[in-house]
Chains A and B, each alone.
Chain A
Amino acid sequence: MHKTTSLRTFWIVFISLVSLILVSLYLHITSGDFDITVMEILRTLLQIDSKPENELVLFEFRMPRMIVAALVGFGLGIAGAIIQGVSRNGLADPGILGINAGAGFAIVVFMFMFQGELFTDGWLGTMIMPIFGLVGGLLAAVVIFVMAWHRGTLDPQRLLLVGIAISSGFGALTLFISLKMNPNDFEAATVWLTGSIYNSNWLYITAMLPWLIILVPILMMKASVLDLLQMKDESASSLGIAINRERIVLLICSIGIVSACVSVSGSIGFVGLLAPHIARRLVGVTHNRLIPICGLIGMLIVVFSDYVGKTIVAPAELPVGIVISLVGVPYFVYLMIRTKGK
């Protein structure tokens, strides 16, 4: 099943995913309390005698949310592929490993330290948030790897367990800090923490885009290294690869992406778990094909889940993180059952 597939299969998968994403984006943008037809959307986008209220709804609410969903999914999907590749653990996921929680904690600390100061609401604060997230995410990753390192290898089960412990620890600290905030900031922090993206705006998009633009190409360049890392350590180093240095670079890049996503959308789990598994079935295990497909699948998952989340219990909304974990958990259990068979 996990063989390398032909280039043609890759493009077929690629194109079908893109079209599925377009369908989801269409569903996403046309659904909501305020009815807008497709023609109106097109007219508004192309600026042909558009109505001001349509413009407001589209440009201020729906477009940013849709783009954030797409970007977050893209980032988390790729980060999941890298983290699974580096840890050689098919059950790894930034959410389960506690990297989300670490980044979230750092961001809440940031919100708390600078609360009430002017620049937190402005662009500077929004741009700095991912950097704080990165620090927190790295902190969590260091703790996780130090704790899970056992006699020179990463024990897969232990990695998950440490991740669970780290998540609940950072979760408690985050709750503690956020309760010290003033009520307004607390509200903002809790909405953000549950993994919801309905308060997105263009600023968030500009805050996370640079991270993706810089880090994703780096990871793509490293794709072949990632393939070699799947071999035994001795074989990889005999091919002249500085294994540990490459691992660290790859991890830092992926944590950077995760932090950018978390600082915008809060903690959304399971995307980084699901995307690589589905992608491997579709295009095999070669990373230069796997990585872009993971990104697309992640994008599809988040956009579609957000569409489900905002329509299924309308007029109330489910945070997209909850929708994804409803699907993600059974899949995770299924994966655990299957891997035990080997």
Chain B
Amino acid sequence: MISGEQMKRQISHRIPILILALSPFVMVALAVCSVFYGSKSISLSTIWDAFVRFDPNHIDHQIVIHSRLPRAIGALLVGAFLAISGALMQGVTRNYLASPSILGVSDGSAFTITLCMIFMPNASSMEMILMSLVGSALGVAFVYGIASVIPGGLSPVKLAIFGTIVGTFLSSVSMALSTYFQISQDISFWYNARLHQVNPEHVKLAIPFAIVGILLAMLVASKISVMALGEEVARGLGQRTKVVRGIATISVIILTGISVALVGKIGFVGLMIPHITRFLVGMDYRWVVPCAGVIGAMFLSFSDIISRFLNMPFETPIGVVTALFGVPFFLYLIRTRGGGKHA
């Protein structure tokens, strides 16, 4: 990456580099904790054995490899995807409230998965993931479609209200359909995040999509730093804003779509993490995108571990844990930046 000679405001590259350098250790530690803590206590040596010499007849080995490990990896991946989606959305729309769960993207995804479960009950994992991608595209189109009809509809606050309302609507329709076709139990299962049931096969299928999504995100990252200065400035600097916006949107659709397909809807990660990341590393999206990814991964993994301790021996839905952090943060954002010229 080009860096040093750029500008004076970028002097502090130490923080992002520090974050990126330390994060692998933290992530591994979190993953180990995630594998270690659970309703059944398994000793560290057994876990080690499960990795080194896997014995299919050993129940603990089975639990470690087929349940706990996918969960740990799933939390890290989804956290990263959601945080990167949020960062792209906030950068491109210059909207401090943009995030996949607020702008109806996740709801669109969950909606098409409902349809998929009703009309294609035997859909393969791959088809599920594709449907989920279609759904997140639908959510984006829906919210931006309505918002752009109205003058001033793209302002942060209005867009957030629309997103929430459209989300409510889509989930009501899903609920009505699933009651009608009598599969509401399966659907509520999908709607509520189910990190504890990550399907290892889904994870494997999702990885190529994720790579494409993240590559696209990195590709436009430097352009987004310019766009964050404003549409006119970006165009004045000779940037093709529509192309950048299109690529960023595709990346968001892919990353959010596979997140919902993997674990269902999880709120607030995509809202909070990009803010924290920008606070730490500044406005250069070449650093914001990867740092948001690793911070999001660590945050979700951490929340997942907390969710097992809040209400021992039962698990708390991870959405509750992220909301616990997210709602005060959301209120703080509205309080400090809402209203006035931002409205």
Residues of A within 8 A of B (CB): 147, 150-151, 155, 157-158, 160-162, 164-166, 168-169, 171-173, 175-176, 179-180, 312-313, 316-318, 322-323, 325-326, 329-330, 332-333, 336-337, 340-341
> Is A147 a contact partner of B334 (Cβ separation < 8 A)?
yes
A337 near B310 (CB under 8 angstroms)? no
Give the docked Cα–Cα distance between A195 and B221 (Å).
Answer: 44
Nearest CB on B from A341, distance (A): 8
A340 touches B169 (CB 8 A): no
Query: Is B320 engaged at the interface, CB distance under 8 Å to the other chain?
Result: yes
Contact residues in B for A313 (Cβ distance below 8 Å) = 176, 179-180
Please choose the segment from B42-50, B131-139, B160-168 that sits at the chain A interface, where 4 or more of its residues have CB less than 8 A away: B160-168
Question: Could you list some 21 contacts between A and B, CB below 8 A?
Answer: A147-B335, A157-B157, A157-B158, A157-B338, A157-B339, A158-B157, A158-B343, A160-B161, A161-B97, A161-B160, A168-B267, A173-B320, A179-B314, A318-B175, A322-B176, A326-B172, A329-B166, A333-B166, A336-B150, A340-B152, A340-B153
Is there contact, CB below 8 Å, between B179 and A318?
A: yes
Contact B165 A329 (CB under 8 A): yes
CB-CB under 8 A from B172, the residues of chain A are: 322, 325-326, 329
Whether A155 and B165, one on each chain, are in contact in the complex, defined by CB atoms closer than 8 angstroms, is no
Number of interface residues of B (CB under 8 A): 44
Point out which of A150, A175, A332, A333 has the most chain B C-beta atoms below 10 A from its C-beta. A333
- The segment out of B85-93, B276-284, B323-331 that lies at the interface is B323-331
- The secondary structure that dominates the B interface is helix
A164-B164, A172-B320, A329-B166 given; name 15 further pairs at CB < 8 Å: A150-B339, A161-B334, A171-B323, A173-B320, A176-B310, A176-B320, A316-B180, A318-B179, A322-B179, A325-B169, A329-B172, A336-B158, A336-B161, A337-B146, A337-B150
Mark B residues whose CB is within 8 Å of A.
97, 146, 149-153, 157-158, 160-162, 164-166, 168-169, 172-173, 175-176, 179-180, 182, 267, 310-311, 314, 316-317, 319-320, 323-324, 327-328, 330-331, 334-335, 338-340, 343
Residue pair A161, B161 in contact (C-beta under 8 Å): yes
What 6 pairs between A and B have smallest CB-CB spacing?
Answer: A169-B327, A172-B323, A329-B169, A155-B339, A157-B157, A340-B150
Contacting pair A333 B162 (CB below 8 A): yes
- Whether B165 lies near A172 (C-beta < 8 A) is no
CA distance A162 to B176 in the complex (A): 28
Within the complex, which residue of A161, A322, A326, A329 is in contact with B157, where a contact is CB–CB below 8 Å? A161
Whether A318 lies near B164 (C-beta < 8 A) is: no
Flag if A179 contacts B338 (CB, 8 Å).
Answer: no
Q: Determine if A175 and B317 form an interchain contact, defined as CB atoms under 8 angstroms apart.
A: yes
Q: Is the CB of A332 within 8 A of B165?
A: yes
Majority-rule SS of A interface residues: helix
Q: How far is the CB of A89 from chain B (nearest CB, A)?
A: 12
- Given known contacts A160-B161, A169-B323, A155 and B151 CB-to-CB distance under 8 angstroms: no
| Cα–Cα, bound, A329→B162 (Å) | 10
Is there an interface contact between B323 and A179, defined as CB atoms closer than 8 Å?
no
A322/B146 in contact, CB under 8 A = no
Q: A330-B169, A332-B165 are in contact. Are A161 and B338 (CB under 8 A)?
A: yes
Q: Which residue of B lies closest to A146 (CB)?
A: B335
Residues of B within 8 A of A175 (CB): 317, 319-320
In whole angstroms, how far apart are the Cα atoms of A333 and B176 in the complex?
A: 20
| A173 cross-chain contacts in B, Cβ below 8 A | 320
Closest to A269 in B: B168
Q: Which residues of A contact B161 (CB under 8 A)?
A: 157, 160-161, 164, 336
> Could you tell me if A333 and B316 are in contact, using CB atoms closer than 8 angstroms?
no
Q: Are A326 and B316 in contact (CB under 8 A)?
A: no
Known: A161-B161, A333-B146. A172 touches B153 (CB 8 A): no
CB B171 to nearest CB in A, in angstroms, measures 9
Structural contact, B330 and A340, CB atoms closer than 8 A: no
Contacts of B97 in A (CB 8 A): 161
Provide the residues of chain B in CB contact with A325, threshold 8 Å. Answer: 168-169, 172
Contacts A158-B157, A329-B169, A330-B169; A337 near B149 (Cβ below 8 A): yes
Known contacts A164-B161, A172-B323; is-contact A158 B334 (Cβ 8 Å): yes
